[in-house]
Structure 1
Amino acid sequence: MESIQSCELPAPAGHYSQAVAAGSLVFLSGILPARDSVDPTASFEAQCASVFDQADKVLRAAGCGFQDVVQCTAYIVGVDGWPLFNGIYAEVFGAHKPARAVVPVPGLHYGYLVEVQLVAQRRG
């Protein structure tokens, strides 16, 4: 198992890696909005932008991009943000359509509204 850390992001505060590679698969830990730049009271759109910006940085550190994502699990507080999430997700992934689950939850850590976990495959 190879631990992956983006030099563009702070190290995780807990006992986990930003991502790990096992064979050709890369597993990104759950990503919440960046606490140093996005307050929990920020809009859902701003929180999603932060999550996907961080995911991009971790994917690049692993030698991947969004086109390499094979699975996404998104946790969103309530179901009201689902249509917004769908639109933002479609912008991020474009024509690429990985497997996906969107899980409505009653709450997330620090009071945030979205958390995303990804699995990608390294090519070549």
Structure 2
Amino acid sequence: MIKRFGIEGGTGTGGQHLPFARAVEAGGWLMVSGQTPMKDGEVVEGGIIEQSRLAIQNCLDIMTDAGYGLADVVHVTVILTDARYFQSFNKVFKEVFGAHPPARICAVADLVVDCKVEVDVTCYKAPN
């Protein structure tokens, strides 16, 4: 069975409707869509530390709504817009995942949203 969370779509920059689920669960796996440092459809200004915390927190909020926690995170994908952000992002990452470090990939690329970071997570919890 596949369960979709947030299928009504979120709100992106400029009030744009986002036509994808916030997360999808199947067979104990939860795939959280990429999260940027946004609140109420607007990018929150700030440096890489502040933006990283918010992007990760947005993932954690979706995970919590779906019944998953930090210990369930098995993989994280990180996209930074500048390689110089790597060490600062790692500081935030360690603050959040220190006791439960997941596997991870971190890449540098342009983002379609004017921010410094995007994060997605994959979680697993054995089905009941």
TM, length-normalised to structure 2 = 0.84
Deviations, residues 25-76 of structure 1 (Å, cap 9, x unaligned): 000001011154643x421111111111111110001100121100000000
- The CA distance in 2 between the partners of 1:38 and 1:27, in whole Å, is 22
Letter aligned with residue 70 of structure 1: V
Which of 56, 73, 79 is the matching residue for 1:75? 79
Unaligned runs of 5+ in 1: none
Residues 43 and 115 in structure 2, CA contact (< 8 A), matched pair in contact too: no
RMSD of Structure 2 on Structure 1 (CA): 1.7
Which of 83, 100, 108 is the matching residue for 1:96? 100
Letter aligned with residue 11 of structure 1: G
Whether 2:124 is the aligned partner of 1:115: answer no
**SS of residue in 2 equivalent to 1:111:** coil
Partner of 1:84: 88
Following superposition, which runs of at least 4 residues in structure 1 exceed 4 angstroms of deviation?
Answer: none
Report the Cα offset of residue 95 of structure 1: 2.0
- The CA distance in 1 between the partners of 2:117 and 2:24, in whole Å, is 21
**SS of residue in 2 equivalent to 1:96:** coil
Partner of 1:4: 5
